[in-house]
Amino acid sequence: MVIAPHPDDESVATGGALRVAVSAGAEVRVVYVTDGENNPWAQRATELRWRISHHDRVRWGARRRREALAALKCLGVPSSSARFLGFPDQRVTEALLGGPHEAVERLAEEVAGWRPTVLFMPSLEDRHPDHGATAVMARLATSRVPWNERPDILEYVVHAPAAYGWSGCDGACALSSSEREAKQGAILLHTSQLRLRRRFLLRFADETESYASGPLTPTTNHAAQPLHFLRASGDAWSFAVRRTPRVAIDRPTLLLISNGGGQMSSLRVALPRRAGRHPLPGPGGGGMVGEIRSRPFGAWLMLTITSPALRHADFRLAKLDLPLRRRMGLFDCWPWLSFGSSRAQAAQPPFESNATGTGESLATVVDS
């Protein structure tokens, strides 16, 4: 099974693997999270129109579905193997966090119904917001399936800016010349994407498909990531946030997800502007659901968020999110951070020894 955020991701990230699987006689299922309908610049360039209405987006999404089915046929995958969930393009984060988490349950039903032996999903390190949110959704969905035997899980990255890179690759699918040719043919059938991204997409046909095994191993804090997990104890999570110019100016929102026992909770936390204790409002500003404690520590802001919503401990995820940037269709500045259960060892951020000039230890700052 391949979980693809948009039509064309199945071809660029796993086209070779799909071709190999079909040639070996394996049954295949491809699940598309969105139709890729909210793709305005590609649509403008292809259709030579400036104004794009709701009707135009629906029509564009239908076109991308047809392209996906044609690409699958080129890879030897029948159209009956495709499932389109129809979640809103460029809004997968909202689908993930909103309401009663129907998106996670829908994806869990697809996975449970197919029972894959090999499952491909996006990596948390992918910088496209829809890819990162799909990676989280896939982790949550697979945690809800009562497995008799867990599948081999392989993660892929499509959008990985060189400034951040992709550190988790530990496997690859080497392709023969005929398999590369089939993959290139599949990519070229996504004609709606070629006017602006032809060179980018075809690059994937010339490279070995790389994957990371996962997703149960927590990702480590990365030097380019200003958010660093410190500890989790009960319903209290502690972080250090490097106060970079972007963090100071854009005021990102901290997204938190806790999962355990088939239950998921999520919080959106506005970074406080001053030190002290602050109430944590619930969704829509209604009611208090917890407390935020903040304290400066040199170039860092130390945060402890306490809420019953954070009590689940199977695995935990966090992200510094810039909603305006995401709504504009731009890549994330920072990926999701996974820090596992309360038993997981946190990777410590590189605190300067003279961060405060007081000789305070990190433990003292977090506990005070």
Give the whole-angstrom CA distance, residue 252 versus residue 275. Answer: 17
pLDDT 10s digits, 22-40: 999 999 999 999 999 999 9
- Which pLDDT value is given to residue 222? 60
Spatial separation of the C-alpha atoms in residues 329 and 127, rounded to whole Å: 11
pLDDT of residue 125: 87
pLDDT by residue (tens digit) across 48-72? 999 999 999 999 999 999 999 999 9
What is the crossing angle of helices 54-74 and 177-188, to 10°?
160
Answer whether residue 214 shows pLDDT above 50.
yes
Under the banding of pLDDT at 50, 70 and 90, the label for residue 350 is: low
Half-sphere exposure of 13 (CA within 13 A, CB side): 27
Long-range pairs for 350-355: beta carbons < 8 A, 24 or more residues apart:
350/223, 351/240, 351/297, 351/298, 351/300, 352/298, 352/299, 354/298, 355/297, 355/298, 355/299, 355/300
Residue 355 has pLDDT above 90, yes or no: no
* Helix, strand, coil shares, percent, the chain, to 5: 35, 25, 40
pLDDT at 358: 46
DSSP string over 66-98: HHHHHHHHHTT--GGGEEEEEEPTT-HHHHHHS
Per-residue model confidence (pLDDT) at position 216: 46
**Four-residue CA torsion sign, 55, 57, 61, 66:** positive
CATH architecture, range 2-213: 3-Layer(aba) Sandwich (3.40)
Give yes or no for residue 11 having a pLDDT over 60: yes
Residue 357's pLDDT band, with cuts at 50, 70 and 90, is very low
Give exposure, 252-276, as e/b (b: 16+ Cβ within 10 Å): bbbbbbbbbeeebbbbebebbeeee
Mean pLDDT of 117-127: 93
**pLDDT of 161-199, one tens digit each?**
554 445 567 778 889 999 999 999 999 999 999 999 999
Structure confidence by residue, pLDDT tens digits, 285-296: 677 889 999 999
pLDDT of residue 342: 45
**pLDDT in the model for residue 55:** 97
pLDDT value for 249: 84
The SS3 assignment for 138 reads: helix
List, as own/partner pairs, every contact residues 19-22 make where C-beta atoms lie below 8 angstroms and the sequence separation is at least 24, other chains included. 19/75, 19/76, 19/175, 19/179, 19/182, 19/183, 20/173, 20/175, 20/179, 21/118, 22/75, 22/76, 22/77
What percent of the chain is predicted at pLDDT more than 90? 62
CA 260, CA 237: separation in Å to the nearest integer?
15
What average pLDDT does range 229-258 have in this prediction?
A: 90
Q: Which residues contact 364 (CB under 8 A, 6 or more apart)?
A: none
- 18: closest CA among 72, 70, 67? 72
Instruction: Give the pLDDT mean for 101-112.
Output: 93
Give the single-character DSSP code of 347.
P
Which residue intervals of the chain bear CATH 3.40.50.10320?
Answer: 2-213
The predicted structure's pLDDT at residue 101: 82
SS3 labels along 287-299? CEEEEEEEEEECC
φ and ψ at 248, to 5 degrees?
A: -70, -40
Give the pLDDT band of residue 330 (cuts 50, 70, 90): confident
